[in-house]
Amino acid sequence: QVQLVESGGGSVQAGGSLRLSCAASGYDNIYRYRTSCMAWFRQRPGKEREVIAGMTADDVSPTYGDSVKGRFTISKDSAKHTLFLQMNSLKPEDTAMYYCAADPRSWRTGRCEYNIWGQGTQVTVSS
């Protein structure tokens, strides 16, 4: 029953910034949201889908893909069941569809399978 809805995508010039949001619904309680896996993925034209940033739980250091380290930051407002991706110093190669993903069962299984996905939001970076 968990659903994810992304927002915040758009078109920007190289060097600009965007903040993506992922609103979640359907979690039975805030504890499950705080302690289960959440992540951002993207798929660039002609390339495979890749993980951008992920969090296994609140207060656990997030992980980042090599292509975005130092430029993107993942964060959560668990009280509002919202995941964010702050994107700075954007480059044309960052142009992609960006997806929010979750595994509401990961608190129990101990692994992130990302079985729940949003519809995606388009980010376009111009030269």
Q: Is the dihedral of CA 45, 47, 49, 53 positive or negative?
A: negative
Confidence of residue 29 (pLDDT cuts 50, 70, 90): confident
* pLDDT, position 6: 98
38-56 residue pLDDT tens:
999 999 999 999 999 999 9
Rg (CA), the chain: 14
Confidence of residue 119 (pLDDT cuts 50, 70, 90): very high
Question: How far apart, in Å, do the first and last CA atoms of the chain sit?
Answer: 41
